[in-house]
Structures are given as C-alpha cells and as structure tokens.
C-alpha cells in the first residue's frame, strides 16, 4: 500500500503580537527530525512509504496529487498543533474522500474527542509502531481492525476504543528510524547551539518522576524503558555515516540512569567517536549525580548544551509542581555546569499566583547565575496531566497553549502579569546577547532583529 506520513507544522501563525520576542525567535530556530514518524516508517518497510515534513515542505495538495496515497498518517504531538493537524486531516479528505486517515501522537491520546469527526478514520492511542503496522496489515488483507490494541475508530457516529496497548518493553526490538524518508530535510534540522545538521536519538521512554505539568510519564508510563548502550552507540555511528556530527539526545531526561549513561560514554570513548555537538535535556538532581559522567562526555564533544528543567527558585513552588527538587539542588547543578564550562541553559515555569516580588527575585537569580539561554513559561496545564483539573482557564483555544500566551487565570491583573513576564523575556534576550555563542539558536534575520531590539533598549 502507498502510505504518506505527515508531520504538520506545529501551530498556526498567530496575530504577530509576539513577533520579535525571544521565545518567538527561538521557536522558529528550533526544528528536529520527526522521530516518531521515522519509527513508524521503519515498521512499514514492506510498503511504499513517504514522509512529508510540512514545516519545511508545506504544499500538502501537491504531495497528495503526486503520491496518491492509500493511507495518510498525521502526527499531533504538541497540543498547540491540534487545530493545524485537524485542518491537515480535513484537507486530505477534501482532496480524496476515499483516502484512509489515521491520527496519532500524544495529543490524539489525551484529546481523542478533538479528532472525533468524519475526517479521521482511525486514532492510534499510545505508542504507535506496532499499532500502525497491524492496522495497515488489516486494511490490506481485509482483517478485523477491531481486534487491534491501541486503536480508536468511528462506528455509527460513535468513537469506539479497542483494548489498551501496553508500552513497548524491548525498545531494541524496534528497527532504527527510517531516516531515508527525511534525508532531504536534514539540512534544516537544528537545535540550540548546533549550526550544522543535527540528528536526534531517543535512548529511552518513560519517566519515573511525578511533575504535575508534564505529559511524558502519562503518555509513555512511569517505568523507564531504555535502549541498550550498544544500540545507542550503533545509532550514533549510523548518523555519523550520514555525515551527521551533531546529536540531540531527545529523552525527556537523558541522565536519569547515570550508570547506563556512563556505559554509553565509555563505549563512545572506546570507539574513538568524536562529535561536534551534543544536546540533551536533564533534571537538576540528575546533573548533581552525573557530574563525573558529564566530565567524561566532554572528551567526546567539547560542545555540549543541556536544557535543564529548573522550573522554579522557590522550594514551595517546586513542591507544588511535585518536581522533587529544591533551590539548593538547582544551585548545585548550576555550579557543576559552570565547573565543566557547560553553558547554563534552562527553563522556569511561572506560577499563575506570582506576585511582583516573585518576578523580580527570579530575574535576580537568573542574572546572578549568568544563564546563557533561559525561557520563562507561564504554567500550561496540559490535557493528560495532574495540573489540568487544578486551574481556571481563560481560554481553551489550543493554539494558545504554546508557552507564549496565558491560558489560566493569574493573581495579578493580566496586564501587570504580562508586563512582568515581558521584563523576564527582555532579560533572557540580554543574556543571550551577552553570551554570543548562544545566539546560534537564531537564524540571520532574527539575529539582526535581536541586535536592533537591544540597541533600542540601551
């Protein structure tokens, strides 16, 4: 069968009110390969499969006309991409009503009702590799798709769910991502300080932590499931064979299992693998435990960036978020990164009940610690998280759930809260300008805009 996998653009363009803000510019400079669809594509190797990354190649009608797919799978991971994904599915059905459409991704799992319409034939609920393969086999052979686990479908106007599919236990049993499907796009995939083509590697799934604002554990489960160190290194070697020398380790927390990471680093060292850039995300408490391993990793690449979810500087706020860390732990993590000459990069979640003094204290902390890259995001209680039922909303427009808009009620008047938030954004811009290397997250046009903004604010 002819199968088209689509990664839609993450969001519909807004009204331009935040154009020129640091978060807006960083968003445009942030693009990674659609690993979820590459994994799906690898499971469909016996079929004629193509992948369309609409961020890079937005002409959907042209692709539908030239490829004429039997089945189209549309991924929706980011909640702010829900409306856009629905428009893509609508376009597919308008182009050819006989085309079978499949929607998948965490947003589909948490918001199945948003995709419950005649434009969507099937929902993949949960990890989709085996579900999608079995669905394609059933459709091709005329088998009963109702027996497939992890599926939802419309029948007589009602959305019906099959038995829940358990997470993939043996990740090494999955084939390597089908990067031949995205090879033409690789010059566009970049992230943070990498100004060269960047490959992404998932080394684990699941998270044992209980942050109330995060969907990772809710979607992938609380059990940490890992690829073997040997498999991770083999995938990095495959990327290097493609000419990719910058790697993003896209686990939610790559350093969760320190001993395993140490084994990965040792294997990289034994094989004399050198990388121009390594990027990862990590928790502050894991950095504290992994200082020695990070020092070893610097022998593999001297250019390492770590995005740390600090989330807050108040122990009370961190406890509310169930982060499992403290301000002291954050301080210790920052000290370790400074000792290793790794740029301080991280994010903070702004409490909707924040007072003016809270904004000012956060600004003082970030400036004192001399962050290179820092983001400030008002709390976004995402569907599927514990926080979702804990707040009063000012909007349920999913386009607004992008980290650049307020979606819950704040204690301060909206205008005052927004003004204080803008002050934090201005500080982040100045720090990025100070650490010139960090400006590599921006494209040339936005870098010029950043310079103009700062010259006006002097």
Q: CA dist 272 to 215, 230, 266, 403, Å?
A: 37, 14, 10, 40
Strand-pair category, 2-7 with 48-53: parallel
pLDDT, position 140: 97
pLDDT at 21 over 90: no
Interatomic CA distance for residues 179 and 22, integer angstroms: 31
pLDDT at 232 over 60: yes
Question: Which tens digits make up the pLDDT trace of 140-196?
Answer: 999 999 999 999 999 998 999 999 999 999 999 999 999 999 999 999 998 655 568
**Percent with pLDDT over 70 in the chain:** 89
Buried b (16+ CB within 10 A) or exposed e, 354-383: beeebbeebbebbeebebbbbbbbbbbbbb
pLDDT-based confidence at 389, cuts 50/70/90? Answer: confident
| Full set of structural domains in the chain with CATH | 2-161 (3.40.50.2300), 343-458 (3.30.750)
Whether 38 contacts 455, CB under 8 Å: no
Interatomic CA distance for residues 167 and 106, integer angstroms: 13
Average pLDDT of span 48-61: 96
pLDDT, position 440: 54
Interatomic CA distance for residues 12 and 87, integer angstroms: 10
Strand-pair category, 204-205 with 225-226: antiparallel
Q: Which residues fall within 8 angstroms of residue 380, CB to CB, at 6 or more apart?
A: 213, 401, 403, 407, 408
Question: Which tens digits make up the pLDDT trace of 125-144?
Answer: 999 999 999 999 999 999 99
Return the number of other C-beta atoms located less than 10 Å from residue 317's C-beta: 21
Helix (H, G, I), strand (E, B) or coil at 314: coil
Give which of 186, 240, 234, 235 is closest to 32, Cα–Cα: 186
Whether 7 contacts 75, CB under 8 Å: yes
Give which of 127, 23, 118, 30 is closest to 75, Cα–Cα: 127
pLDDT, position 83: 95
Give which of 54, 92, 68, 32 is closest to 280, Cα–Cα: 32
């Amino acid at each position: 069968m002819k199968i088209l996998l689509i990664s839609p653009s993450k969001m519909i363009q807004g009204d331009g009110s935040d154009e020129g803000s640091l978060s807006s510019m960083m968003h445009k400079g942030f693009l990674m390969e659609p690993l979820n669809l590459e994994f799906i594509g690898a499971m469909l190797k016996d079929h004629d499969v193509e992948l369309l990354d609409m961020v890079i190649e937005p002409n959907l009608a042209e692709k539908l006309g030239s490829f004429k797919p039997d089945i189209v799978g549309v991924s929706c991971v980011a909640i702010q991409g829900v409306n856009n994904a629905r428009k893509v599915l609508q376009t597919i059905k308008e182009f050819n009503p006989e085309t079978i459409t499949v929607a998948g991704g965490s947003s589909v799992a948490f918001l199945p009702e948003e995709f419950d319409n005649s434009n969507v034939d099937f929902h993949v609920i949960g990890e989709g590799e085996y579900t999608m393969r079995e669905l394609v086999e059933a459709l091709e052979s005329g088998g009963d798709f109702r027996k497939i686990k992890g599926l939802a479908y419309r029948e007589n106007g009602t959305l019906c769910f099959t038995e829940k599919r358990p997470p993939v236990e043996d990740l090494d049993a999955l084939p390597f991502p089908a990067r031949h499907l995205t090879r033409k796009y690789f010059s566009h995939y970049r992230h943070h300080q990498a100004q060269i083509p960047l490959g992404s590697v998932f080394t684990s799934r699941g998270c044992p932590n209980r942050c109330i604002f995060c969907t990772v554990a809710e979607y992938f489960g609380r059990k940490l499931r890992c690829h073997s160190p040997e498999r991770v290194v083999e995938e990095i070697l495959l990327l290097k064979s493609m000419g990719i020398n910058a790697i993003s380790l896209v686990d939610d927390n790559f350093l969760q299992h320190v001993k395993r990471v140490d084994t990965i680093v040792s294997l990289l060292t034994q094989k004399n693998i050198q990388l121009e850039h390594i990027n990862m995300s990590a928790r502050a408490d894991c950095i504290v435990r992994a200082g020695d391993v990070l020092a070893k990793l610097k022998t593999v690449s001297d250019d390492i960036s770590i995005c740390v979810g600090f989330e807050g500087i108040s122990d009370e706020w961190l406890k509310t978020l169930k982060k499992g860390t403290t301000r002291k732990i954050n301080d210790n993590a920052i000290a370790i990164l400074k000792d290793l000459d790794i740029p301080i990069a991280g994010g903070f979640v702004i409490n909707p009940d924040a007072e003016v003094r809270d904004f000012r204290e956060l600004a003082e902390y970030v400036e004192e610690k001399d962050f290179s890259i820092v983001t400030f995001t008002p709390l976004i209680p995402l569907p599927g998280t514990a926080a979702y039922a804990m707040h009063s909303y000012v909007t349920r427009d999913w386009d607004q759930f992008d980290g650049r808009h307020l979606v819950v009620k704040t204690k301060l008047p909206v205008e005052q809260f927004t003004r204080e938030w803008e002050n934090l954004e201005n500080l982040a811009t100045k720090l990025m300008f100070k650490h010139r290397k960090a400006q590599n997250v921006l494209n040339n046009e936005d870098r010029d805009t950043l310079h103009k903004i700062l010259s006006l604010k002097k």
